Structure 1
Amino acid sequence: MLENKLKNAPLVSIILPVYNGEKFLEESIESCLNQSYQNIELIIVYDISTDNSLEIIRNYASRDSRITIITNFKKKNLPEGLNIGHNKAKGEFLTWTSDDNIYEVNAIELLLKTLLEENVDIAYGDMEIIDHNGQKVRDFVFLDFENIIFRNYIGNCFLYKKDVFERNKGYNENCFLVEDYDFWLRAISHSRFYQLRKKLYQYRKHDSSLTHQIAFNDEKKEIWNESVIKMYDSFSNAFMEKDHLIIREFLSKSLNYQKMPFEWIVKNERVINLFKKNLSMNGNFQNKNAIEKIFLDKIIYIMTLDQGLQTNLSKSFYIVKKHGLFLDKKAIKTLIKYSFFKK
């Protein structure tokens, strides 16, 4: 256990952006204030709202001096609000949460303990999904870190050194709706990650969440697509001196589940292999077999969607020839299914 005496314990800053969040706000604030690790400051970045969020915030601030309120009189998007809160933070360690989600009581303690003991820059944990009423839906255990190439597998419960934010020069305000994913991808080049396999957070699924809006709101979906392109442009450029646009196309279309001709994979095999090689030189991607496996899975998935002139049998032969060492039973079954049977 970490020593929790305030005079010796490092300060942890939690940033909480709030906009029309009254429905679940009390639970979110209490989960921050009731942490087993008590040397925290809670910075609430409040955007002028039409509900009673401010009254709730002021009520808690009047009873707990660890709360700081920052009021934005003009609505900010999430990465703007995060930067405002982070720049106000005094802590050596930083994190942020949402006004509809809940920390487990020992989340900050365990994440901080991990950062200090493992000598890493960023630690993150698993979570459980809850519904509108706070009832558990299911556990969500994130895949190994290497999978971050194709999807955000850091999640919502994390803690990082202030240096990470500074080296990243904050959150990219042009990457609204993927601001967290973009932040992690940019941090890969200078910071070490550690995955703590403990459920430390409750993520609430409901109709008003940004995640839900991306799926069902055309305007939000368009913003998300544009931000994905910007995010992957930066990430691929960091690992490729040239041909980064090819990697950007591969990653962005994969994230969006867009169909790609299998011939595109064959044509750009050299570039993709160079990207994998460059990734493996980064300290966060030391498991080369894992990198090969996740790329193989993506290539097989592309094969299953492709309706091109080339037969699936010939595509399967190509995959076996190029990636045979990394085929597992599941991959082999998929190749057989799509090579010899109708889709």
Structure 2
Amino acid sequence: MHENKLKRKPLVSIILPVYNGEKFLARSIESCLNQTYQNLELIIVYDSSTDNSLEIIRSHANKDSRIKIINNVEKKNLPAGLNIGHYVAKGDFVTWTSDDNIFETIAIEEMSKKLCENDIDVVYCDMVIIDHNGEKVRDFVFLDLENIIFRNYIGNCFLYKKEVFERNKGYDENCFLVEDYDFWLRAIAHSRFYQLRKKLYRYRKHDSSLTHQIAVDNEKKQIFNESVIKMYDSFSKTLLEKDYLIIREFLSKSLTYQKITFKWIIDNESVINEFKQQLSHNINFQNKNTIEKVFLNKIVHLMVLDQGTKTNLSKSFYIVKKYGFFLDKKAIKTLIKYSFFKK
């Protein structure tokens, strides 16, 4: 009876790329296997490591037949490893995780339930930040999906139908370090997203993570910046036939913390307006008011960064004129502070 019940549930494929992950790997594997949702396969894509990762993987595979091991003879980058895992995945639904992070036991069940019950293609969740030792640092609640224009707000806990991967033609192997963000930006063109307001994942912050390496390693930072430009170039072209380079500049500089002057915003106002208009045609962004609020927050932030001794008040007038209908208390307080009390 139990087996028949499992067969009626969609198969979920969890892909786990591994490279030198021995420190946290066992806990990550266990979090995948110990799900309340049991009809799953765990595809471990192992890159040639210099630690004991393979021994840990084989030890778990000997105890659980749901584990499949793909042993790469040559080291692949992360998006290539993800593609390899997807190509052998048999699941109707797919997700992937990292060898240092942890699923909550109900994560797959809760997300698969939403994919089955709703007319959606991708479901994603909030998470808890943990430290090197696994202790909770803080909760992390993602902003609404419209904010994905400026930053990856899908996060690390998600589940999607296999067709999303197929329609996207996989992960772009030229977008290393932003492969997930690039994947989501391309997917919003054809797939419907759903934000599940539950914390179903524990994301570990530590010095060996790729996120940390981008911040401290100049070579990885350069790769990241180049990948960001490639990603936004592709995304901008899907929305604008001309002037897409202006939007690419706007988005890429915002993400990589490069200066954008307020004058640049004013000079390119018409292109930004056209970009917002095109966004509103997307199935995920049809609330124009929400889009305007996202851009309002970004432009207020740019005003704060682009300080001048005499122009703050005129910048505030511009923002009020353009976005007055969408101003909230926080934005109003910021405008007052930087118009009258900040030089």
Q: Shared fold by TM > 0.5?
A: yes
- CA–CA distance in 1 between the matches of 2:18 and 2:288? 41
- CA–CA distance in 2 between the matches of 1:226 and 1:115? 34
Contact 1:127 1:202 in 2 (8 A): yes
- CA–CA distance in 2 between the matches of 1:342 and 1:199? 38
Counterpart amino acid of 1:136? K
Counterpart amino acid of 2:11? L
- CA–CA distance in 1 between the matches of 2:5 and 2:103? 21
The residue aligned with 1:135 is 135
The residue aligned with 1:280 is 280
Q: Indicate the larger mover: 320-329 or 178-187.
A: 320-329
Counterpart amino acid of 2:318? Y
The residue aligned with 2:330 is 330
The residue aligned with 1:63 is 63
- CA–CA distance in 2 between the matches of 1:9 and 1:297? 42
The residue aligned with 1:18 is 18
Per-residue deviation, residues 34-53 of structure 1 (Å, max 9, x unmatched): 11010101000000111110
The residue aligned with 1:74 is 74
- CA–CA distance in 2 between the matches of 1:70 and 1:275? 42
The residue correspondences of 1:163-174 to structure 2 (distance < 5 A) are 163-174=163-174
Contact 2:7 2:39 in 1 (8 A): no
SS in 1 for 2:7: coil
Q: Is 2:312 aligned against 1:312?
A: yes
- CA–CA distance in 1 between the matches of 2:251 and 2:263? 16
How far does residue 257 in structure 1 lie from its aligned partner after superposition? 2.2
SS in 2 for 1:167: helix
Mark the runs of 5 or more structure 1 residues left unpaired by the alignment.
Answer: none
- CA–CA distance in 2 between the matches of 1:260 and 1:173? 29
The residue aligned with 1:89 is 89
- CA–CA distance in 1 between the matches of 2:235 and 2:4? 38
The residue aligned with 1:183 is 183
Counterpart amino acid of 2:329? K
CA gap of 1:106–1:283, structure 2 versus 1, over 3 A, is same
- CA–CA distance in 2 between the matches of 1:149 and 1:236? 10
Root-mean-square deviation (Å): 1.3
CA gap of 1:219–1:90, structure 2 versus 1, over 3 A, is same
Identity of aligned residues (%): 78
Contact 1:262 1:308 in 2 (8 A): no
The residue aligned with 1:160 is 160
The residue aligned with 2:223 is 223
SS in 2 for 1:23: coil
The residue aligned with 2:27 is 27
Per-residue deviation, residues 139-174 of structure 1 (Å, max 9, x unmatched): 111111111111101000000000000000000000
Counterpart amino acid of 1:36? T
The residue aligned with 2:200 is 200
The residue aligned with 2:102 is 102
Contact 1:4 1:39 in 2 (8 A): no
Counterpart amino acid of 1:34? N
Per-residue deviation, residues 255-279 of structure 1 (Å, max 9, x unmatched): 1222111111111111101110110
Q: How many residues align?
A: 341
Contact 1:4 1:37 in 2 (8 A): no
Counterpart amino acid of 2:181? Y
How far does residue 308 in structure 1 lie from its aligned partner after superposition? 5.6
The residue aligned with 1:51 is 51
SS in 1 for 2:246: helix
How far does residue 310 in structure 1 lie from its aligned partner after superposition? 6.5
Using the size of structure 1 for normalisation, the TM-score is 0.97
SS in 1 for 2:185: helix
CA gap of 1:103–1:4, structure 2 versus 1, over 3 A, is farther
Q: Indicate the larger mover: 333-342 or 47-56.
A: 333-342
- CA–CA distance in 2 between the matches of 1:150 and 1:66? 38
